[in-house]
Homo-oligomer: A and B are copies of this chain.
Amino acid sequence: MSGAKPVEGGLVYNIDDEPPVGLGLALGLQHYLTMFGSTVAIPLIMAKPLGIEDDPAQLAALIGTMFFVSGISTLLQSTWGNRLPIIQGGTFSFLTPAIAVCGMAGASGAGFEVRMQAVQGAIILGSLVEIVIGYSGIVGRLTKFVGPITIAPTIALIGLSLYPFGAPEAGRHWPIGGLTIALIVLFSQVLRTRHRVFELFPVLLGMGGAWIVAGICTATGVFEPGHPAYTSLDKLEAAPWIRVPMPFQWGMPTFSLAATVGIVAGYIASMVESIGDYYACARMAGAPVPTSKTISKGIGMEGIGCLIAGIFGTGNGTTSYSENIGAIGLTRVGSRRVVQYGAGIMLVLGAVAKFGALFTTIPQPIVGGMYCALFGMIAAVGMSNLQFVDLNSARNLFIIGFSFFMGLSMPVYVKAHPVAFDPQWLADVVNTLGSTGMAVGAFIAVILDNIIPGTDEERGLTHWQTGDEAAPPPVDPHHETHHVG
């Protein structure tokens, strides 16, 4: 078996390649659009606990802040952090504890600012924990226990665990959701050898094509207001042109230990997920398998990103974005510079309120269709690590299968039966991790892979951790264009 080759005969642009500015900006915009759904979803979900569900101006400001901070964090991570082409943005793992903070005594009776300040304080204090865990190298030293048998279910479950958000979202209107999927498949799999534009922008073109159809159907009255694929630019008029997010824009954060320990559970889940993302991203981008040092620097920088998120007040932290790793797999553009262009777009568009509002008009079935294509790609990238593992070993099969199965099964249990014991913060940690599929899968796989006897060869460690084999072969960035007719 061979080493970690990048996907299918090399990337169009490697991690250190720099595409022309115009092309790079367009590719960066695609990353922006890819992260758009989750990034907008988080403020929308937090609107109610924060008490701004009926305040579109505050909500628009919160959305802008999310993008602005994501841009800063992505620039920091790709330039001084782990230097992988990995988008940073808000994380679902913070939602449950952040909502709990909003509901705590002292915040629940007060208005938006008081609640937000309590969330900010918890996120700021929690970020110090992540910064220490990262830069002290603790997290990196733990990676010597991590092989492909652990990484495969961990990455795969990032994608698979999102199953409640794929078909159900696309299925709000199957003609449009299905069209999005079909166009992404058509562009990324069938037409990509015909013209480079299909190869580079399958997600953008797929979503754009479906959006145009939805727009035509809306304009001709086929989709009426309230239709799940209705798309209207009305929200645009309500938004101001420019609003630059500022530190402490909602007032000074308030600090409490109880709020902080709850949010640390979110941090733990976020760190485990990010480490999985680093492996996936490196594999997709044709970079070497992340070293202990790379992981430490990445996690440390994610802590700094969370600190910044707490200072600006996104009501959330930052983590690595799996969706964008899927986009790298589909486009085979792994350039760090493209991600930095994407970060620049986030910064600018985070301040241009009208532009952000424009994209909130993308109908949900189109976002759901994109989820179906990208979350599946993440699952497959995880499974591709199995090529280093002996898949005829009953030991390996048991560990892999049990991790996958429990990663899907345990969250069903924990969500229905959250544990309750003292200290409450420990119960929160258990509930947050137990309802996070990839944390469950990672935990089971790393324990069993290290206690059940097995040879390094059998476990896939020999073929996997050798930096030489993992380095990508040289790629001619223009090679793929030879197919153009």
Residues from chain B with Cβ under 8 Å of A300 in the complex: none
Q: Is the CB of B412 within 8 A of A167?
A: yes
Take A171-B413, A190-B452, A413-B167 as given contacts and tell me if A380 and B404 are in contact as well, using a CB distance cutoff of 8 Å: yes
Chain B: minimal CB distance from A387 (Å): 4
For residue A189, which residue of chain B has the nearest CB? B452
In the bound complex, what is the Cα–Cα distance between A372 and B402 (angstroms)?
Answer: 7
Q: Is the CB of B404 within 8 A of A168?
A: no
Q: Is A453 an interface residue when CB atoms closer than 8 A count as contact?
A: yes
Secondary structure class of chain A's binding surface, majority of residues: helix
Residues 393 to 414 of chain A near chain B (Cβ within 8 Å): 393-398, 400-406, 408-410, 412-414
In the bound complex, what is the Cα–Cα distance between A384 and B394 (angstroms)?
Answer: 10
Chain B: minimal CB distance from A195 (Å): 16
Q: Is the CB of A394 within 8 A of B330?
A: yes
Q: Is the CB of B167 within 8 A of A410?
A: yes
Q: Is the CB of B384 within 8 A of A397?
A: yes
Residues 114 to 155 of chain A near chain B (Cβ within 8 Å): none
In the bound complex, what is the Cα–Cα distance between A417 and B169 (angstroms)?
Answer: 12
Q: Which 8 A-B pairs have the closest CB atoms?
A: A380-B401, A376-B405, A166-B409, A376-B401, A376-B402, A163-B408, A380-B397, A167-B413
- Interface hub of A6, A329, A406, A451 (most chain B Cβ within 10 A): A406
Chain B: minimal CB distance from A151 (Å): 13
Q: Is the CB of B5 within 8 A of A409?
A: no
Q: Is A366 an interface residue when CB atoms closer than 8 A count as contact?
A: no
In the bound complex, what is the Cα–Cα distance between A448 and B184 (angstroms)?
Answer: 13
Residues from chain B with Cβ under 8 Å of A378 in the complex: 401
Residues from chain B with Cβ under 8 Å of A160 in the complex: 160, 404-405, 408
11 additional contacts (CB under 8 A) given A163-B408, A189-B398, A387-B387: A7-B394, A7-B397, A8-B392, A156-B404, A160-B160, A164-B409, A330-B394, A372-B409, A375-B409, A377-B402, A378-B401
In the bound complex, what is the Cα–Cα distance between A305 and B422 (angstroms)?
Answer: 55
Residues from chain B with Cβ under 8 Å of A386 in the complex: 383, 386-387, 391
Q: Is A484 an interface residue when CB atoms closer than 8 A count as contact?
A: no
Task: Report the interface size class on chain A.
Answer: 35 or more
- Interface hub of A5, A166, A396 (most chain B Cβ within 10 A): A166
- Interface hub of A165, A188, A404, A414 (most chain B Cβ within 10 A): A404
Q: Is the CB of A383 within 8 A of B400?
A: yes
In the bound complex, what is the Cα–Cα distance between A403 and B160 (angstroms)?
Answer: 11
Chain B: minimal CB distance from A444 (Å): 9
Q: Is A185 an interface residue when CB atoms closer than 8 A count as contact?
A: yes
For residue A375, which residue of chain B has the nearest CB? B405
In the bound complex, what is the Cα–Cα distance between A5 and B396 (angstroms)?
Answer: 14
In the bound complex, what is the Cα–Cα distance between A452 and B184 (angstroms)?
Answer: 13
Take A167-B406, A168-B409, A392-B5 as given contacts and tell me if A159 and B401 are in contact as well, using a CB distance cutoff of 8 Å: yes
Q: Is A381 an interface residue when CB atoms closer than 8 A count as contact?
A: yes
For residue A283, which residue of chain B has the nearest CB? B392
